[in-house]
Chain A
Amino acid sequence: MILLRLALRSLISRRVTVGLTVLAIALSTALFLGVEKVRTGARASFADTISDTDLILGARTGGVQLLLYSVFRIGNATNNVTWESFEDLASRPEVDWAVPISLGDSHRGFRVMGTTTDYFDRYKYRGGRALSFAEGGRPADLFDAAVGADVARELGYRLGQEIVVAHGLASFTDHDDKPFRVSGILEKTGTPVDRTVIVSLEAIEAIHADWQGGGRSGTPISAAQVRELDLSPRAITAAMIGTSSPLQVFKLQRAINEYPEEPLMAVIPGVALQELWEIVGVAETALLGVSAMVVATALLGMTAMIFSGLNERRREMAIFRAVGARPRTILGMLTLEAALMATAGAALGVILLYTGLWIARPHVDAAFGLYLPIAPLTGRETAGLIAVVIGGTLVGTIPAIRAYRISLADGMTVRS
């Protein structure tokens, strides 16, 4: 096809301007696809963080908030659940299993979570996968701690190492009189577990044994003494619950929500996530909208570039006319030119996207705990790419129509 070859040659002969235009389209396309990838990646990663848990129990608050602090360790609980209420609810017939968790302390920027060893059996992520240890095992002793993969990697922890837990989340007062020992290092999961230090509920009680409210009370209790005390938990932050049958979920949820002894609530993780997406959906749409505008700007830039070249290409159009091209062919050639640039831009954009993802992935993972999958383009993303090409072709018709008019008016004579 000689016309396609000529169009390509013509573009190549103007490689600097054409190259910059294509690059602008490519960058904007990569941005657009990147926003979409991060968006879907974040959703998938959130959805993958909890599976096989039917309900999450917590103090009465917002459903999204409960999900965020209990599963994602984002934000804090305003209230606790008393151990009595938890035990009472956990003994209901609808409950198959219940794992309490207690949050509130931190270790060098990582959250410390108290729980029972059931956690290692019941917590499931990414479609039912269970936690496993890369080294060592579950906490056995009172002052044993299992650390997530990122905790171990970032702090360089080895098995048997002694670590000190800080009181509160951003505090400088340490429970330094009661150091923990790393009993196990968990395999990487791509969930907030990677950034968590897991200890027993009793350990949480133990380190707070000589604390009351915000400060140390009375005489300090040594690590040895504390082992003698009654360390059964008094309160927990939340609990993960599995029901004996899916049919029981709503019944149990209602029972918890109407629990007379204490204001509690239970959320279904999937439902709360859905609620969360509705909230962030607005921001996502805005972000996608902005990046779509950037693509539109790049395409308009391309149009401007074609427009500005039209005048010096009148001679070329007169040659085409003289050898028998119809004005419509000229229209087609210029549209083809725009389509080729948009296609090249879109293709280069995909290359930039994957290169960018590949480079950014470890940093995004470290900074946000978000492991972006490098997966093929989804249907939506492909549709976006096609939209870039079609959009480019459509705006390309604007200068093409102008060229069509010029070539009709010029005929064989090109007058400047």
Chain B
Amino acid sequence: MTKTGDPVDTAIDLRDLRFAWGGRRPFSLAVERFELRRGEAVFLQGESGGGKTTLLSLICGINRPAAGHVRVDGTDLGALRGGARDRFRAERIGVIFQMFNLLPYASPLDNILLPLHFAPERRARCGAPREAALHLTDTLGLPRELIEHGTAADLSVGQQQRVAVARALIGQPPLIVADEPTSALDAGAQAAFVDLLFDQVRAAGASLLMVSHDDRLSGHFDRAVRLEEIATVTRSEAA
């Protein structure tokens, strides 16, 4: 039971979250409360090494919190077992990394189609996956020849990031998570990329959470949040 709002209305709902990395340089993260409504586009700013990627991995269900709840699209990830969580991520979340988004040996098209292999519902939703993928890359302004027959190495960094957008969007998952997707791009290309991302996310009716250490782009978003506002980070430097 949630205190505010209907869980069905939230794309992301975090409660009393606690997580710690072990190892030589322990790092722990606590989030009391964070919500992202359906259809909302939120910018989360935080310092490098501040725990942004860690937080995203909790939202994606790649890592499990030590305590608290992660609810995505109305589903409590804590209630899902490992395999079901991975399947849930495949079905509901599109992920874009900072760089090196693509499997270098595969064609961009195969990269885009890869999530569908793990997400049968998403695959069913796009009908003809190839056509859906090529339609996306067309609207993202990517040359077909390169997409079908090239490899990641044939693409510029900007093109690679757009392929990553297509991979995140294919089959219309309700949530898109982007981990500093613009930091590898030059300043001029960053705004254009974010605009493109926005258009596509809006067109798909998805929610968007983008994290970055650089808040110049925050203006485009419905809401901008600083990691310090929602999370408490503790570090015990042993070195």
Q: In the bound complex, what is the Cα–Cα distance between A323 and B95 (angstroms)?
A: 7
Most chain B CB neighbours (cut-off 10 Å) among A12, A322, A327, A413: A322
Contacts of B63 in A (CB 8 A): 411-412
Q: In the bound complex, what is the Cα–Cα distance between A73 and B61 (angstroms)?
A: 78
Count of interface residues, chain B, beta-carbon cutoff 8 Å = 32
CB distance from A415 to the nearest CB of B (A): 10
Name the one of A318, A328, A412 contacting B83, with C-beta atoms under 8 angstroms. A328
Cβ-based interface call for A316 (8 A): yes
Cβ-based interface call for B119 (8 A): yes
Q: A10-B105, A315-B100, A411-B62 are in contact. Are A323 and B114 (CB under 8 A)?
A: yes
Docked complex: B34-89 residues within 8 A CB-CB of A: 53-54, 56-57, 60, 62-63, 82-83, 86-87, 89
Q: Is the CB of A324 within 8 A of B106?
A: no
Q: In the bound complex, what is the Cα–Cα distance between A12 and B83 (angstroms)?
A: 30
A386-416 vs B, CB cutoff 8 Å, 1 = contact: the mask equals: 0000000000000000000000000111000
CB distance from A310 to the nearest CB of B (A): 15
Docked complex: B128-183 residues within 8 A CB-CB of A: 167, 179
Q: In the bound complex, what is the Cα–Cα distance between A12 and B151 (angstroms)?
A: 13
Q: A324-B89, A324-B119 are in contact. Are A413 and B54 (CB under 8 A)?
A: yes
Q: In the bound complex, what is the Cα–Cα distance between A325 and B86 (angstroms)?
A: 6
Q: In the bound complex, what is the Cα–Cα distance between A329 and B87 (angstroms)?
A: 12
Most chain A CB neighbours (cut-off 10 Å) among B60, B91, B102, B118: B118
Cβ-based interface call for B113 (8 A): yes
Of chain A, the residue at the smallest CB distance from B112 is A323
Most chain A CB neighbours (cut-off 10 Å) among B83, B105, B119: B105
Q: In the bound complex, what is the Cα–Cα distance between A214 and B42 (angstroms)?
A: 110
Q: Is the CB of B110 within 8 A of A6?
A: yes
Cβ-based interface call for B117 (8 A): yes
Contacts of A411 in B (CB 8 A): 54, 57, 62-63
How many contacting A-B pairs (Cβ < 8 A)? 80
Q: Is the CB of B104 within 8 A of A13?
A: yes
Q: In the bound complex, what is the Cα–Cα distance between A402 and B101 (angstroms)?
A: 23
Of chain A, the residue at the smallest CB distance from B85 is A326
Q: Is the CB of A319 within 8 A of B118?
A: no
Q: Is the CB of A323 within 8 A of B90?
A: yes
Cβ-based interface call for B97 (8 A): yes
Of chain B, the residue at the smallest CB distance from A322 is B95
Of chain B, the residue at the smallest CB distance from A13 is B105
Cβ-based interface call for B108 (8 A): no
Q: Is the CB of B106 within 8 A of A9?
A: yes
CB distance from A229 to the nearest CB of B (A): 88
Docked complex: B4-59 residues within 8 A CB-CB of A: 53-54, 56-57
Name the one of A3, A328, A412 contacting B179, with C-beta atoms under 8 angstroms. A412
Cβ-based interface call for B124 (8 A): no
Q: Is the CB of A322 within 8 A of B60?
A: yes
CB distance from A258 to the nearest CB of B (A): 79
Cβ-based interface call for B192 (8 A): no
Q: A2-B114, A5-B110, A412-B62 are in contact. Are A324 and B54 (CB under 8 A)?
A: no
Of chain A, the residue at the smallest CB distance from B63 is A411
Cβ-based interface call for A188 (8 A): no
Q: Is the CB of A413 within 8 A of B104?
A: no
Q: A322-B97, A324-B86 are in contact. Are A412 and B60 (CB under 8 A)?
A: yes
Contacts of B86 in A (CB 8 A): 321, 324-327
Q: Interface residues, chain B, CB within 8 Å of chain A?
A: 53-54, 56-57, 60, 62-63, 82-83, 86-87, 89-91, 95, 97, 100-106, 110, 113-115, 117-119, 167, 179
Q: Which 6 A-B pairs have the closest CB atoms?
A: A324-B90, A324-B118, A13-B105, A412-B57, A323-B115, A322-B95
Question: 23 pairs across A/B with beta carbons < 8 Å?
Answer: A6-B106, A6-B110, A6-B114, A9-B106, A9-B110, A12-B105, A13-B104, A321-B86, A322-B97, A323-B115, A323-B118, A324-B89, A324-B115, A324-B119, A325-B86, A325-B90, A325-B118, A326-B86, A326-B118, A328-B83, A412-B56, A412-B95, A413-B57
New contact pairs (10) apart from A318-B97, A323-B90, CB-CB < 8 Å: A5-B110, A6-B110, A6-B114, A323-B95, A323-B114, A325-B90, A326-B87, A412-B63, A412-B95, A413-B53
